[in-house]
Structure 1
Amino acid sequence: MDMSLPQTYSGYVIATQPGSLPMGGTVPDTPIYALRRLPAGLLASAAAMEPAVRRDIDIGGQLAFVIGNILSAEACRALIGIGEHFGFRDEAPGISTPPGMRMNQALHWMADAELLELIHQTVAPLLPQTLHGKALWPRLSQRINLYKYRKGDVFNRHTDGDWPGYGFSTDQVGIEEWLGGRSQLSMLLYLNGPEDGVQGGATRLYGDSGVITDVIPKAGSALFFQHGFRPGSVVHAGTQVGGDTPKYVARINVLYDRA
């Protein structure tokens, strides 16, 4: 599968932050990237052929569900290509994890607003419209964490932190934090899966009642669960990838009102 981008689709470093390494330590000035323009035809071909559907997951009463048919296989391949174009790195900007927890490669990318709007329009009707008394925010954060799991890579048991929303500055040369929204749900958008040659790499959910459920990645589908350091947040892990085909996943933050 050709994951390269045409040379006309150039990227740039929009910001830098200290990046944490899988086994500890930091790398200063780890880049966060942006594209000058999306690949031709990406938006036109991004919608899945079938309607989006939600499937709730029983993990002892905690909130977790899968929405299928969010993006087309072509769009998922294009997002993998964007990640490979910029280049995955051991260090993850702005992320702090204990040594040995995040054993994969990362890339942080400021995604185009039109692409995020297409995804949001698809999933929003199937999302909780309020959580903890806060209304669903009308946009998804444009800062996406792309992860690449090679053979032997894992993301050991953890709880995701919550984040503010981020968008482009008015002049498109910087990042602005949105003051009105804060994330409450992780959206793990799978970009490939077993049908593409991935072996292993399920997302394992640990429920409050001792329930353990594995979610198998499928390109174009996404796993949603509550995050943040509060009761009800879902402990989970990315299980080991066993074959030579890397697993790719994009974490997108679903925002709710702060006030």
Structure 2
Amino acid sequence: MSSALPIFNEQSSRISGYVIATQPGSLPMGGTVQNTPIHALNPLPQAAIDSMPAGVPATRTDIDIGEQLAFVIDNVISKEACDMMIEIGEHFGYRSDAPGIRTPPGMRMNQAMHWMADAALMEKINDAIAPLLPQQLHGKALWPRLSQRIDMYKYRNGDVFNRHIDGTWPGYGVNADRNGIDEWENSGSQLSMLLYLNGPEDGVQGGATRVFGRGGQVVDVTPKAGSALFFQHGFGIGSVMHAGGEVTGDTPKYVARINVLYDLD
């Protein structure tokens, strides 16, 4: 990863932002930190938004874990956009405490940074993936937007995210005054999207995401910059158990969890 993106140098602009909200944050080995920040960006240059698309069509590959839903979409965003998101995460800074989530001691052994992305940035991601997503799940229609809350995780040497199921969330967006977070009524997440921001081609060693089928199937998904793993989440029978494998070596793995929403009406 370069230390500064050309897109910001060319625009004579730097990443800047602020704390838009705080929530209690859980620690890897148990305990809570009050007022863990959720960040928001000041608007990105238009050139940065325009750099998001991968430049080639996104493609979907289904993962066979029996009757449960899991698949990978390649070419979600460009390598330049992956580097930009990594830079955003490092600008705000990673912490041991993760806001608004609760995990048992020893499960989430990595660093976290949660932020609210602009609608324009999320629209570019949604444009790439929406045609390849299930248009209905359990009789509920795909929501026209992705949640703007991005949960980013940094895995350093020895870090893991042990076997677990993701919980469900409402959709969230930055409010009109850009000083708070709106919860979108009648929206609810049904799919986790793990957007990989780097991978072995960038020096990452290890760090595959392992998904487990109820019938005993086990599939390892290797991170690749700009690709994303999707699977059903929540606490129903179709939810997919998964784990973030151990990273070894000096290059951290970066991944962004985004919630795919469906209409609750």
SS at match of 2:230: strand
Match of 1:135?
141
- Cα separation, partners in 2 of 1:118 and 1:209, compared to 1, 3 Å: same
The answer for the alignment partner of 1:44 in structure 2 is 50
Asked if residue 2 in structure 1 is aligned to residue 8 in structure 2, the reply is no
**What per-residue deviation string (whole Å, max 9, x for no partner) do you get for residues 181-203 of structure 1?**
00000000000000000000000
Superposition pairs for residues 244-255 of structure 1, below 5 Å? 244-255=250-261
- Find the aligned partners of 2:220 and 2:102 in 1 and give their Cα distance: 25
Corresponding position of 1:144: 150
Q: Is the aligned partner of 1:175 residue 2:181?
A: yes
Deviations 1:197-250 (A, max 9, x none): 000000000001100000000000000000001110000000000111000000
Contact persistence 1:3–1:77 (CA under 8 A): no
1:73 corresponds to 2:79: yes
Match of 1:84 among 74, 85, 90: 90
What letter matches 1:2 in structure 2? S
Name the SS of the counterpart of 2:143 in structure 1. Answer: strand
Q: 1:39: how far off?
A: 5.0
SS across alignment from 1:116: helix
On the 8 A contact 2:166/2:234 being kept in 1, the answer is yes
The whole-number CA distance in structure 1 between the counterparts of 2:211 and 2:228 is 14
Q: 1:165 aligns with which of 147, 153, 171?
A: 171
C-alpha separation between the residues in 2 aligned to 1:102 and 1:9? 28
Residue by residue, what CA displacement relative to the aligned partner does 1:40-73 show, whole Å, maximum 9, x if unpaired? 6221211112210000000112100000001000
Q: Tell me how far 1:171 sits from its aligned partner.
A: 0.7
Equivalent residues of 1:156, 1:238 under 8 A apart: yes
- Counterpart position of 2:205: 199
Query: What fraction of aligned residue pairs are identical, expressed as a percent?
Result: 71
Q: For the Cα contact (< 8 Å) 1:4–1:85, is it kept in 2? A: no
Q: CA deviation at 1:2?
A: 2.8
Structure 2 residue runs without a partner (length 5+): none
Matching of residue 115 in structure 1 with residue 85 in structure 2: no
CA-CA distance at 1:3 after TM superposition: 4.1
Of 190, 210, 215, 2:216 maps to 210
CA contact (8 A) 1:4 1:84 kept: no
Amino acid of the structure 2 residue aligned with 1:137 = W
Which residue pairs with 1:219 in the alignment? 225
TM-score (norm 2): 0.95
Quote the residue 1:18 is aligned against.
Answer: 24
2: CA distance, partners of 1:106 / 1:40:
27
Q: Aligned to 2:112, which of 106, 116, 119?
A: 106
1:35 aligns with 2:41: yes
State the superposition RMSD in angstroms.
1.1
Partner secondary structure for residue 139 of structure 1:
coil
Alpha-carbon displacement from aligned partner over 1:139-197 (angstroms, at most 9, x marks no partner): 00000000000000000000000000000112110001001200000000000000000
Aligned length: 259
What secondary structure, in the 3-state scheme, does the structure 2 residue paired with 1:95 have?
A: coil
Deviations 1:90-138 (A, max 9, x none): 0000010000000000000000100101111110000000000000000
TM-score (norm 1): 0.98
Is 1:232 aligned with 2:231? no
Secondary structure of the 1:138 match is coil
